[in-house]
Structure 1
Amino acid sequence: MRVFKGFVVALLTLPLMVSAEEIGSVSTVFKWVGPNDKIVVEAFDDPKVEGVTCYLSRAKTGGVKGGLGLAEDRAEASIACRQVGPIRFNGELKDGEEVFKERTSLVFKTMQVVRFFDRKRNALVYLVYSDRVIEGSPQNAVTAIPILPWPSKS
């Protein structure tokens, strides 16, 4: 039992890969006690691909449980990634490589973004989905960026 408790504590204290910057949010459900339910829009840069920023919108549960970080957020999310500068690869890209991960419940549920490289079409493809230790969700969203030359300033 001590090993299991230690494992749970370790999971809760692990730092996440990439932190997202909150761009904004809108309230969706008023709560009398604690924060309202809301949809947040966050941005994060791909750690291995300079010049790419992804925007993620997702639901965050409010109320007392949400305010204390004990609520389980919904699995729905939307993603849009864009080229924001010249694209440069920092290391080898692996298909299905995790580029963003955030806990959406106290222990067992996460929202993840993974990257694929479509060599035939010269495009980067990003997929967002939610999973649980026991059972994930089929809900997902995808976005793609064609790798194009970036205009130089003259």
Structure 2
Amino acid sequence: MGKWLAWLALLPAVAAAEQIGEVSTVFKWVGPNDKIVVEAFDDPKVEGVTCYLSRARTGGVKGGLGLAEDRAEASIACRQVGPIRFREELKNGEEVFKERTSLVFKTMQVVRFFDRKRNALVYLVYSDRVIEGSPQNAVTAIPILPWPGQ
């Protein structure tokens, strides 16, 4: 048991998303509708930062069974929601969030960069695939500012 805990400690910290809401975009007679889903996740290494991600989710029979491939488009907005504190040292291009968007080959991920010159955190969302990724992406930045009352 101790060996498994040691291995788990070596895995990168990746945030889990909480669904905030959704809207239907295409009605499906069988299975769930196609949707745009809005999710929130907190940066696991930066206290005081929450990111909001909107992305397409494919419905229908395949979507209901988890077999459909979701579209590559996504939008992201990250905000300072409290005092910013670094829990660990940050690495540029470090994965903050990752979710599978097809059964095997495609993922949507968010990576973080630290712009030292402008004292800002930059978050990039993109989709990749084992054979060929997508150039579609979105970026957001948060200036690191003092939090009121501190």
TM normalised by structure 2 equals: 0.90
| Residue in structure 2 matching 1:87, options 62, 84, 87 | 84
SS at the partner of 1:85? strand
Deviation, 1:17, is 2.8
- Counterpart residue number, 1:39: 36
| Residue in structure 2 matching 1:137, options 134, 139, 143 | 134
- Counterpart residue number, 2:104: 107
- Counterpart residue number, 1:58: 55
SS at the partner of 2:64? helix
Q: Which runs of 4+ in 1 moved over 3 A?
A: none
The alignment covers a number of residue pairs equal to 138
In the alignment, structure 1 residue 146 sits paired with structure 2 residue 139: no
Deviation, 1:19, is 1.3
- Counterpart residue number, 1:29: 26
- Counterpart residue number, 2:120: 123
Deviation, 1:18, is 2.0
Q: Which runs of 5+ in 2 are unaligned?
A: 1-12
Identical-residue share of aligned pairs (%): 91
| Aligned residue type for 1:125 | V
Deviation, 1:65, is 0.2
Q: Which runs of 5+ in 1 are unaligned?
A: 1-15
| Aligned residue type for 2:98 | K
In the alignment, the residues of structure 2 paired with residue 135 and residue 103 of structure 1 have an alpha-carbon distance, to the nearest angstrom, of 15
